[in-house]
Chains A and B, each alone.
Chain A
Amino acid sequence: MTRSIASQAQTLLISVREARLTLDRIFLAADVHEGLVPAVRDHALASAALGLGGWPMVRDRNAAIGAGDASRIGVTTDERGACIDAGGLHAWLAGATILDLCIDAAQPGGRATVRVRDVADRAELAVLAALAHRHGARVAIRGSEDGADAVIIDATIVDSPRAPSEWDPVLHCALHDGLEVDAGLWWELHHLSNRALSPDTVESRRHAGPIIVTADGKVIGRPVDDDTDFALLRQGPERATTDSIHSKERQQ
């Protein structure tokens, strides 16, 4: 790490861990299905690391990504070969499925060429070149000669990655060097991510801790050797700590 303290004022270096935590929460709160959140998050992370849409796109497109139906992707085969129709989904939402299909197509013969059409923010598919390393594959992405709507992905199977630096070189660099982000934008994203946190109510405070204080002040549980300010457990919460959306319906 070579950053200086002084430089932190304008630009922050964010660790992969806190970037993932923040992205997970943002996409969860944007209603991306929990089974897809890690994949979408990794695409966004790679985008930020590669200087693509990155952090501003997270802020601007998270709601649209969350509104997408990931099962809209389909595959057709015609005289030009296999074509993946992404159904207008954002590249970060469709990317994992597209990459899997490309690798699956390439595995029998070692290589495959696949057309992909109807991807929103398709320039973001460039992240697949980084993520393909995880599967022991390389992909090259180019424009389609027969129309502006499609891209061509050439996938090649190579040796399985061994060292962490081979598994995902972009992630490896980000782990060591951090991810740069404008400080103002980062704190904006941080607040956005807080929407995934639940309201702090007196009742919810009983869902953790070594003792429970009931509404009438009764203490349930053995005494702890903590010095405890019981007002913390009985008073109404301070709502100013985050900008959580309290009206959001419970996710069940």
Chain B
Amino acid sequence: MSAMHMAAAAAAAAQHSSACVRQSPVPSKRDPAVLMQPARLAALQPSRLSASRALMVRAIRERWAIERLGWNIDAQSRGTALYRITTPGGIFDFPVYSFEYKSEGRTGRIIGRAWDMMAALIEGPATNAEIEQTGIELPKLYQGRATPRTLIWCRANRSSRAFNHAVAALAAGRQPQLSEIAQVGYLMRNTGLDGNGTFGTRSFRALEADHVLAPPLAAQMLCAYMMRVFAIDLVHHLARARSPDAVEIDPRLQRYIGVGNGSALGLVLFVNNHPHLIDRWLDAREEAIVSAKSITGAAAAPALRRLHQLVGRAITFREQDRMEYEAFAPSDEIAAELRTVRDAIDAMLADTARLAAIEHPIAVLCDRVEPGLHAETMETLLSLAMELVPDVADALGRTLAVDEEFTTRPGMTAGELRGILHDEYGWAMTMDVESPAARRHVWYKSENAEEPRRGPWEEVEWAYNLGLDLPRLVQDLDRALAGAPAATSVARFLMLEPHFRSIVARVQTLAGHGYHSPHMNIMSDDFIPVHIVRLMNVAIHGIDKTRDFLGRNIRGVLFHGAPTPADLIAGADPDWFYPEEPTL
């Protein structure tokens, strides 16, 4: 947003401020027509409902203990380690298999064949037999089988730049340079997390309702956190191997260092395949935002002061962001806009009489500032607002595990089904699905590591399309239903048109829900995959500083600023997110 625009927005806000005293919008969830646009979904920011942050909320509150029980790794990084995570709800073991660095076969993509570490998350205490068996099976990956109590298999690679710099600096008795670390943000990057039944791991749907890691993605996030723990331990170990005078990374810098994450096209397929989860998650987020916007009465001023503080953290975080983005908004722009938000909060707090007359001040603030803001700035504000209702957000976080099955409703009539299509899929009805550009691409998985890929049909030797061609399916189904008597049952319709069974089951099962399917044609030239990758990475996983590449890949940082194991056991600061660069 330009300075001129910001000035205009501030003026409008001031005018609005005087005009609408006592008038407050009634907070409500957003229209799916707005929220489900891919570009808007890409703008959603990490929040208390994001899987990594939700995990940390619990780990901090319950003071999880993370111990290193074993370390048998040599000066070339070869060997094993064993960690134990003790929670009030159970023990988990994390055996690590560490390998010597080699450059051959190395890439951030899933097709890579070289990893610096592999590990497993096992419901513990793990037996020696389990750990030994895991060490045999894990390197086989697709041909391997996990032991029965295994939740996750994972693997990670170091960022040579940051990792080697850190080892060299520590061995020389000094701290790594912040500039070197901050350019990357991590020492090791997650290159694969497999669980929920994959390779014989335990199905998440079979976890007990009160299982510590029952919330969606919690087990994966714990593994990512443990990668971070191991990376720091390994750097310390290698530095000590070089020099007896080596020092350890300052705890402030340890907190600042996150764990890297690369994501790509597979997450678009994930969103296609998990509409119940996406709907539930987005609905919960909207509900938490509505709850924050509904704060009223005497609670309003303290809430605004808290929001002011949180916005300040976000401003500093954005000002210090050294990453470069291709299509996403530069952080200095977001920082500038957040400063205008903070000014608006200041203005509201300064006029106590007027503030007292506003029924829903947070809602008023949001409505006031939104017209001039970039979507990312607005979504930052909304995510921070959720911190005003932590108990509500945490309770909503416990509702995210949903049944994800589809089934038909055979007795529904064709007319009723068509009514659902017209009520809930209007966006798909008008979408171009016929032009060559609208149907140019195919989604497929390669035989090489089953890597999800997307390319023009003419460039693919052959493929089974794995992408959900939702607008086309909806339009085709609507045409077929139009040709059937309205009173025909779905059972009879599907007897005559059996190929619509899958889309009919999807439409019927998801009827009445608004946030399950982004409004997109993923086969089209116009579709930008990274929008959906970012929805998953940023909003749902909670990843910061997500750099975009070629409109389809993302690199970012998980647990950026999160407490260390020592912090957790001692009692950590819950406001760890959006960390400020440490001064060493």
In the complex, what distance in Å separates the CA atom of A176 from the CA atom of B103? 41
In the complex, what distance in Å separates the CA atom of A169 from the CA atom of B553? 40
In the complex, what distance in Å separates the CA atom of A252 from the CA atom of B460? 11
In the complex the two chains form, is B203's CB within 8 Å of A16's CB? Answer: yes
Residues of A within 8 A of B160 (CB): 227
Residue of B nearest to A96 (CB): B501
Residues of B within 8 A of A97 (CB): 491, 494-495, 498, 501
Q: Which of A35, A73, A104, A249 meets B410, CB within 8 Å? A: A104
Binary flags per residue of B430-467, CB closer than 8 Å to A gives 1, else 0: 00000000000010111110111111010111111100
In the complex the two chains form, is A199's CB within 8 Å of B462's CB? Answer: yes
Which of the segments A119-127, A138-146, A236-244 contacts the partner chain? A236-244
A17-B196, A38-B406, A101-B491 known; A242-B464 Cβ under 8 A: no
In the complex the two chains form, is B465's CB within 8 Å of A207's CB? Answer: no
The contact size tier of chain A is 35 or more
B503 interface contact, C-beta 8 A: yes
In the complex, what distance in Å separates the CA atom of A225 from the CA atom of B464? 33
A167-B403, A207-B453 known; A14-B200 Cβ under 8 A: yes
Which of the segments B43-51, B104-112, B348-356 contacts the partner chain? B104-112
Residues of B within 8 A of A251 (CB): 462-465
In the complex, what distance in Å separates the CA atom of A175 from the CA atom of B202? 9
Residues of A within 8 A of B133 (CB): 5
In the complex the two chains form, is B464's CB within 8 Å of A16's CB? Answer: no
In the complex the two chains form, is B107's CB within 8 Å of A229's CB? Answer: yes
In the complex, what distance in Å separates the CA atom of A34 from the CA atom of B506? 13
Residues of A within 8 A of B147 (CB): 5
In the complex, what distance in Å separates the CA atom of A67 from the CA atom of B489? 27
Residues of A within 8 A of B460 (CB): 198, 204, 207, 250
A18-B198, A175-B203 known; A197-B106 Cβ under 8 A: no
In the complex the two chains form, is B109's CB within 8 Å of A208's CB? Answer: yes
Q: Which one of A17, A29, A197, A207 has the highest number of Cβ atoms from chain B below 10 Å of its Cβ? A: A207
Residues of B within 8 A of A14 (CB): 200
B25 interface contact, C-beta 8 A: no
Binary flags per residue of B143-160, CB closer than 8 Å to A gives 1, else 0: 001011100000001011
Residues of A within 8 A of B461 (CB): 198-199, 201, 204, 246, 250
Q: Which of A71, A75, A96, A198 meets B462, CB within 8 Å? A: A198
B247 interface contact, C-beta 8 A: no
Q: Which of B162, B203, B500, B552 meets A35, CB within 8 Å? A: B500
Residues of B within 8 A of A175 (CB): 203, 205-206
Residues of B within 8 A of A171 (CB): 405
Binary flags per residue of A183-212, CB closer than 8 Å to B gives 1, else 0: 000000000001011111101111111111
In the complex the two chains form, is A35's CB within 8 Å of B196's CB? Answer: no
A15-B201, A227-B160, A228-B106 known; A208-B453 Cβ under 8 A: yes
In the complex, what distance in Å separates the CA atom of A4 from the CA atom of B145? 12
Residues of B within 8 A of A13 (CB): 148, 200
In the complex, what distance in Å separates the CA atom of A96 from the CA atom of B504? 13
Q: Which one of B103, B161, B403, B461 has the highest number of Cβ atoms from chain A below 10 Å of its Cβ? A: B461
In the complex the two chains form, is B107's CB within 8 Å of A233's CB? Answer: yes
A33 interface contact, C-beta 8 A: yes
Q: Which residues of A contact B (CB under 8 A)?
A: 1, 3-5, 8, 12-18, 28-29, 33-39, 70-71, 73-75, 96-97, 99-101, 103-104, 107, 134-135, 164, 167-168, 171, 175-176, 178, 194, 196-201, 203-212, 220-222, 224-229, 231-233, 237-238, 241-242, 244, 246, 248-252
Please name 11 pairs of A and B residues whose Cβ atoms are closer than 8 Å in the assembled complex, sorted by A.
A33-B498, A71-B498, A75-B495, A100-B410, A104-B491, A134-B407, A198-B453, A210-B555, A221-B549, A246-B461, A246-B462
Inter-chain pairs besides A135-B410, A168-B405, 17 sampled, C-beta below 8 Å: A1-B148, A1-B202, A28-B464, A100-B408, A100-B410, A104-B411, A107-B410, A176-B203, A200-B111, A208-B109, A208-B452, A224-B549, A228-B108, A229-B104, A232-B106, A242-B447, A252-B465
